[in-house]
Amino acid sequence: MSTSDKTASAAPGWVIRPATGTDWPAIWEILEPVVRAGETFTWDRDTTEQQARERWFKQPPGQTFVAAGRGELEGVILGTGELHANQGGGGSHVANAGYMVHPAHGGKGVARALCAYSLDAARAAGFRAMQFNAVVESNVRAVAAWQSMGFEVLATIPEAFLHPRLGYVGLHVMHREL
C-alpha cells in the first residue's frame, strides 16, 4: 500500500490524509487569505478560487493532502499540502511541495507534519530529492522549519519577491535528498 492509499497519523490532534473534493471549501478557506496577503507564496494575489483549485489539486504521482483534526477538532481541516514533480522530463525525479496552515492552527507543528508526510509520499512515489523553488527569505519560521527537516538553502535570488510590506526580498532555493 502506497502512502497515497493510506492515512498517516501525524499527532494526537490530527491525521494527515489525501484530500478529497469535499475538502475543497476548507482548503480554500486556508489558501485564500494566504494568497491575498501575498507575503509567502508567489501566486498572483487576485488568483480566483477556480484557478487555485486547478493549481493546488495534483494528479498522481503528485497528490494533495490535508491535516484533518481529530477528537475535539474532528472534521476541521487544519492545513493542506501538495506534492508534485518539480520539473518534467529529465528533472521529474525531484519532487516539489507546498504547504499552508490555517492561521488558528499555526505554531502547533502542522506544517512540519505536512512536510514529513510529503517527504514520505515523495519517497514512496520514487522521487530522489525534494526542492523548494521559492521560499520567501522573510518567512523565517518556514525557513527554520525546513532547515530543521534537512533542507539546505542552495541559493538566494536577491530581490526576487516583492513583499507587500517589506519591499523586495530574496527567494531561497532549498533542497534535500530523500
Q: Binning pLDDT at 50, 70 and 90, where does residue 171 land? A: very high
Q: Does domain 3-127 have CATH number 3.40.630.30?
A: yes
pLDDT of residue 83: 97
**CA distance to 83, 85, 115, 170, 176, per residue, from 121 (Å):** 8, 12, 10, 29, 14
Kindly state the percentage of the chain with pLDDT values over 70. Answer: 93
Average pLDDT over residues 59-65: 87
Domain parsing of the chain, residue ranges: 3-127
pLDDT of residue 2: 39
Question: Over 80: is that where the pLDDT of 61 sits?
Answer: no
Question: Over 70: is that where the pLDDT of 34 sits?
Answer: yes
pLDDT of residue 176: 98
Cα 135 from Cα 56, distance rounded (Å): 17
Please state the pTM of the whole predicted model: 0.89
